[in-house]
């Protein structure tokens, strides 16, 4: 017997790789997407809402899209148009045919969806502002959510915005800090997992193009600006897809080949290391000489599952299946 689809909520700052992740979830028989909540990040909030609505329409899906936080908790918004294009989707003029406004906001939607679906899974593909605000509104959220996969951070390696930090955690480090200081059962999918052999090569791109489907063509076209920007940034050719990789690990947990649990902190005070994801890989916080420094985390949070390695052919196969 096929198991019932798991209930999922997606929080996203919908740009080009987010859109591909949405397609994967909306096409997957493993999950039922109950709500898509939008946060400002890669693009301003309204643009993110429009991009999500367009993607939902392209999938012929009927999932409500809710607008959330317009700015980070304590800082002005810094977008990533240099990477994803001004509209976040490579500036090809995509617009939803039926922009439907929801009456409640994303924060209320997260709380209501979790209350209505105990055991809900959440995946976050943008800054953690909405989730931090939802935790404030409903402190028992960690008891209602069985799993929260976070695309963000660069544990134990370099970031993509500063040497220390990855974009999603860097944009709103105060929100990220709050979320990592909660008892949510977090899983971290760092930026480094989307690099090197996980990048879509020219062969992978040709395979997707050969499908000649609306979803495949859109996924390649909307990532045109991101592909060029990724080469400029890293010198690596191809399309790097951090959010779809987080989605793949959510949909098929067996794609994770190495994961370990660690107390994790997010730096929010220093400008130099703003948004850095500090993973206590050697459990130094268990050492009494460091105990005071990590006391807040050990008292308030639970360890985060950090994904270190994944089945790369398996991830690409899942992606291609979703676009068929
Ligand atoms: C993250 O930032 C954005 O550019 C992507 O959508 C992804 O969520 C990668 O650092
Ligand atoms: Ca994103």
Which residues in the chain come in under a pLDDT of 70?
none
Q: Is 83 in the pocket of ligand 1 (CB under 6 A)?
A: yes
β-pair partners for 310: 256
pLDDT in tens, 123-168: 999 999 999 999 999 999 999 999 999 999 999 999 999 999 999 9
Per-residue pLDDT at 115? 98
Measured from the CB, is residue 18 less than 6 Å from ligand 1? yes
Instruction: Return phi, psi of residue 26, to 5°.
Output: -70, -25
196: left (phi over 0), alpha (psi -120 to 50) or beta: left
Query: What is the pLDDT at residue 101?
Result: 83
**Res 2: pLDDT:** 85
Residue 311: alpha-carbon gap to chain centroid: 19
Q: How far is the CA of 168 from the centre of ligand 1 (A)?
A: 6
200, two tokens: 């879509």
> Tell me: the pLDDT tens digits for 186-207?
999 999 999 999 999 999 999 9
Q: Which ligand is nearest to the CA of 78?
A: 1
Distance, CA 324 to ligand 2 centroid (Å)? Answer: 23
* 195 half-sphere exposure, CB direction, 13 A CA radius: 16
Return the SS3 of 80.
coil
Q: Which of 286, 242, 243 is nearest to 261 (CA)?
A: 286
48 lines ligand 1 (CB under 6 A): no
Domain ranges of the chain: 6-323
Instruction: Return d(Cα 28, Cα 63) in angstroms, integer.
Output: 14
Is the pTM for the entire model greater than 0.75? yes
Ligand 1 probe mutation, 18, 167, 239, most atoms within 8 A of CB: 167
CB 192 less than 6 A from any atom of ligand 1:
no
Q: How remote is the CA of residue 1 from the centroid of ligand 2, in Å?
A: 35
C-beta of 170 in contact with ligand 1 (< 6 A): no
Instruction: Give the CATH H-level superfamily of domain 6-323.
Output: Ribonucleoside hydrolase-like (3.90.245.10)
Distance 122 CA to ligand 2 centre (A): 14
């Amino acid at each position: 017997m096929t198991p019932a689809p798991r209930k999922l909520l997606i929080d996203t700052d919908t740009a080009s790789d987010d859109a591909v992740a949405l397609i994967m979830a909306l096409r997957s028989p493993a999950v039922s997407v109950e709500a898509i909540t939008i946060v400002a990040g890669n693009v301003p909030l309204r643009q993110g809402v429009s991009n999500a609505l367009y993607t939902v329409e392209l999938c012929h899906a009927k999932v409500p899209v809710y607008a959330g936080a317009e700015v980070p908790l304590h800082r002005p918004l810094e977008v990533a148009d240099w990477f994803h294009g001004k509209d976040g989707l490579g500036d090809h003029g995509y617009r939803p045919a039926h922009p439907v406004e929801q009456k409640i906001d994303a924060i209320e939607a997260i709380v209501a969806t979790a209350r209505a679906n105990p055991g809900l899974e959440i995946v976050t593909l943008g800054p953690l502002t909405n989730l931090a605000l939802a935790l404030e509104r409903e402190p028992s959220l960690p008891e209602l959510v069985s799993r929260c996969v976070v695309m963000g951070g660069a544990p134990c390696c370099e970031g993509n915005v500063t040497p220390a930090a990855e974009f999603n955690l860097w944009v709103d480090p105060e929100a990220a800090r709050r979320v990592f200081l909660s008892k949510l059962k977090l899983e971290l999918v760092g930026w480094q997992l989307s690099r090197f052999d996980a990048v879509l090569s020219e062969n992978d791109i040709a395979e997707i193009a050969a499908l000649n489907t609306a979803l495949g063509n859109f996924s390649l076209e909307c990532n045109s600006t991101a592909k060029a920007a990724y080469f400029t940034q890293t010198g690596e050719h191809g399309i790097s897809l951090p959010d779809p990789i987080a989605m793949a690990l959510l949909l098929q947990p067996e794609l994770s080949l190495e994961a370990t649990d660690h107390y994790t902190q997010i730096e929010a005070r220093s400008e130099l290391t703003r948004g850095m994801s500090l993973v206590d890989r050697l459990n130094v916080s268990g050492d009494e000489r460091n105990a005071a420094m990590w006391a807040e985390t050990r008292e308030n949070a639970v360890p985060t599952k950090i994904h270190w390695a994944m089945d790369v052919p398996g991830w690409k196969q899942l992606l291609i299946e979703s676009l068929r």
